[in-house]
A and B are shown apart, each in its own frame.
Chain A
Amino acid sequence: MSVDDVAADDERKRNTYHFDRHTPEYRHQLASIAGEMHEKCPVAWSDTYGGHWVASGSREVFELARSAEYLSNDHDIRGERRGYKGISIPTPQRVASARGGFLEMDPPEQRYYRQALNPYLSPAAINRWIPVIDELVRASLDEKIETGRIDFVDDLANVVPAVFTLAMMGIPMKSWEIYCEPMHAAIYTREGTEEAARVALLHRQMGMDLAGQLAQIRADPRPGLVNALLELRIDGEPQPDIEIFGVLGLLLGGGFDTTTALTAHALEWLSENPPERERLSRERDTLLDSATEEFLRFYTPAPGDGRTFSADCEIAGTQFKEGERLWLSWTMANRDAALFPEPNSIDLARKGNRHHSFGLGIHRCIGSNVARAVFKRMIVQVLDRMPDYRCEADGTVHYDTIGVINGMRHLPATFTPGKRLGAGLDETIDNLQKVCDEQRLAEPVTARRATAKIES
């Protein structure tokens, strides 16, 4: 580089911030870091992780997220295109064998995958499953209702999203435990530890089960997201198994821990704010929707995504060069006072809540309707069946770092015991599997429009 190039580069990167979201400090100082960045540098250059841009201002995030023509999600695994590194910053140490599904693809390829899966995940598609979700929640609570003790993560928020995601995929629901722990543990387990070795083993077992399911569904098709991926043709061609596994990994990653994180945080907050909890329960018909969006905004389970600039460009007042990396911080954009008055307070009735928690633009979370439906059904039953629950700070475990998912490991609580309403979890899952298979609930909404019918 010439002296002039260096000077020009320094000028472009004059707004700097040492941004490391993979530290405990970030979790504890989130609000003040966001406030500082909003004030000084809503787009900032950070030297961390090989150097990358960080967008935290809502206006800047909006313009950037919608500039798909200049921002690539591509993860060029085999170095066949431009060497871009996908949506994780830093790039994970473990060498990736596949892209993270369509989240690490650009159009037009990305669009074909979404079109194939939309009819399984649209609001109309998810509404068919509500009776199934309700039964899973009922059974999970029934397992604990007579004891007066529950762990909202282990016994509820981990369970229902996992079982339901498998049902939508067309994988037997009773396998949920093979998938549940590795998916969660992968988020909070540090690479290189003894625990990591155990988690890696669980991951391999999950991978083997998934591979077996793929083979079975290919040989003897049954409806669901797996089948949709097997049937997908782009330019008349089926998609390679390695890409299908990447998409399934994305659906599992998106389907499990994020909804768990949202539910746990919301239940914890409601326990700490009993008058608000009572108000939510009493006014749920008018308040549950806005409360859900507010918990989404405040807790932002999936905190952001990486991008690579695919061309030199100027967006939101900053000049970027092709190949530079960008972190779009949904979390910090969600705390922008310019868009959200009193951004660091939870207002269950918040208006104008156009939060970023499902992303913005063409990569908007395809599972957003699943998240909202499952969250609401869990919250409503907890409010109804254990209205006086008290979370115990001793035993509550938040993830140390929230750079990947803003989640929780444990949330123990006590409550006044109640009565079981039906069968336990295992028996309920067996019954629901029959319902799911007989009524072919995992078909796309275009093939099957009606809501699930469950005999009580």
Chain B
Amino acid sequence: MRVRVDSERCQGHTLCAMIAPKVFELDDIDGHSSVAGENVPADQEEQVREAAHSCPEQAILIF
């Protein structure tokens, strides 16, 4: 599984980082989300799927 945050859509709701803190990092200044790397460890796949479903802006792409 690979994951990316669409930085144009992200508005800093922070739900992703609450659900999958090992995968999503929040910017110190505006709380917008990004991933350190696109590859999702197997034990994080469920959380990443849940994070994508929980994003109000639908800004998380799983591919």
Q: Please choose the segment from A346-354, A381-389, A416-424, A433-441 that sits at the chain B interface, where 4 or more of its residues have CB less than 8 A away.
A: A346-354
> Between A and B, how many residue pairs show CB distances below 8 Å?
68
Q: Provide the bound-state CA to CA distance between A122 and B28, in Å.
A: 6
Q: Are B29 and A355 in contact (CB under 8 A)?
A: no
Chain A residues with CB under 8 Å of B29's CB are 118-119, 122, 124, 445-446
Q: Are B53 and A361 in contact (CB under 8 A)?
A: no
Chain A residues with CB under 8 Å of B19's CB are 289
Given A122-B27, A122-B28, verify A289-B54 contact (CB < 8 Å): no
Closest-CB distance, B14 to chain A (whole angstroms): 6
What does the 1/0 interface line of B34-63 toward A look like (CB < 8 Å)? 000000000000000010011111100000
Q: Are A123 and B54 in contact (CB under 8 A)?
A: no
Report the contact-size class of chain B (Cβ under 8 Å from the partner): 20 to 34
Q: Provide the bound-state CA to CA distance between A364 and B32, in Å.
A: 12
Query: Which of B9, B14, B55, B56 is in CB contact (< 8 Å) with A123?
Result: B14
With an 8 A cutoff between CB atoms, is A110 at the interface?
A: no
Q: Are B30 and A369 in contact (CB under 8 A)?
A: no
With an 8 A cutoff between CB atoms, is A368 at the interface?
A: yes
Q: Provide the bound-state CA to CA distance between A124 and B32, in Å.
A: 11
Q: Are B30 and A118 in contact (CB under 8 A)?
A: yes
Query: Which of B18, B28, B50 is in CB contact (< 8 Å) with A124?
Result: B28
Given A122-B27, A122-B31, verify A360-B54 contact (CB < 8 Å): no
Q: Provide the bound-state CA to CA distance between A351 and B15, in Å.
A: 11
With an 8 A cutoff between CB atoms, is A309 at the interface?
A: no
Q: Are B28 and A361 in contact (CB under 8 A)?
A: no
Chain A residues with CB under 8 Å of B9's CB are 66
Chain B residues with CB under 8 Å of A66's CB are 9, 57
Query: Which of B14, B18, B54 is in CB contact (< 8 Å) with A354?
Result: B54
With an 8 A cutoff between CB atoms, is B13 at the interface?
A: yes
Given A289-B18, A351-B50, verify A358-B28 contact (CB < 8 Å): no
Query: Which of A356, A369, A446 is in CB contact (< 8 Å) with B14?
Result: A369
Q: Provide the bound-state CA to CA distance between A67 and B12, in Å.
A: 18
What does the 1/0 interface line of B1-23 toward A look like (CB < 8 Å)? 00000000101111101110000
Query: Which of B11, B26, B53 is in CB contact (< 8 Å) with A362?
Result: B11
Chain A residues with CB under 8 Å of B58's CB are 62, 354
Q: Are B26 and A123 in contact (CB under 8 A)?
A: yes
| A116-144 residues at the B interface, CB under 8 angstroms | 118-119, 122-125
Given A118-B30, A446-B29, verify A358-B13 contact (CB < 8 Å): yes
| A360-398 residues at the B interface, CB under 8 angstroms | 360-362, 364, 368-369, 372
Q: Provide the bound-state CA to CA distance between A432 and B12, in Å.
A: 29
Q: Output the nearest chain B residue to A125 by Cβ-Cβ distance.
A: B28
Q: Provide the bound-state CA to CA distance between A125 and B9, in Å.
A: 22
Closest-CB distance, A353 to chain B (whole angstroms): 6
Closest-CB distance, B9 to chain A (whole angstroms): 8
Q: Provide the bound-state CA to CA distance between A446 and B29, in Å.
A: 7
Chain A residues with CB under 8 Å of B56's CB are 354-356, 358, 360
Q: Are B53 and A354 in contact (CB under 8 A)?
A: yes
Chain B residues with CB under 8 Å of A62's CB are 58
Q: Are A364 and B54 in contact (CB under 8 A)?
A: no
With an 8 A cutoff between CB atoms, is A104 at the interface?
A: no
Q: Are A360 and B18 in contact (CB under 8 A)?
A: no
The 7 listed contacts between A and B (C-beta, < 8 Å) are: A115-B30, A351-B50, A360-B11, A364-B11, A364-B13, A368-B14, A449-B28
Contacts A118-B31, A351-B53, A360-B56 given; 20 further ones with Cβ under 8 A? A66-B57, A119-B30, A122-B12, A122-B27, A122-B30, A124-B28, A125-B28, A293-B54, A352-B54, A353-B15, A354-B54, A354-B55, A354-B56, A355-B56, A361-B57, A364-B11, A369-B14, A369-B31, A372-B14, A446-B28
Going nearest first, the 6 A-B pairs with the smallest beta carbon separation are A352-B53, A364-B11, A124-B28, A118-B30, A354-B56, A122-B31
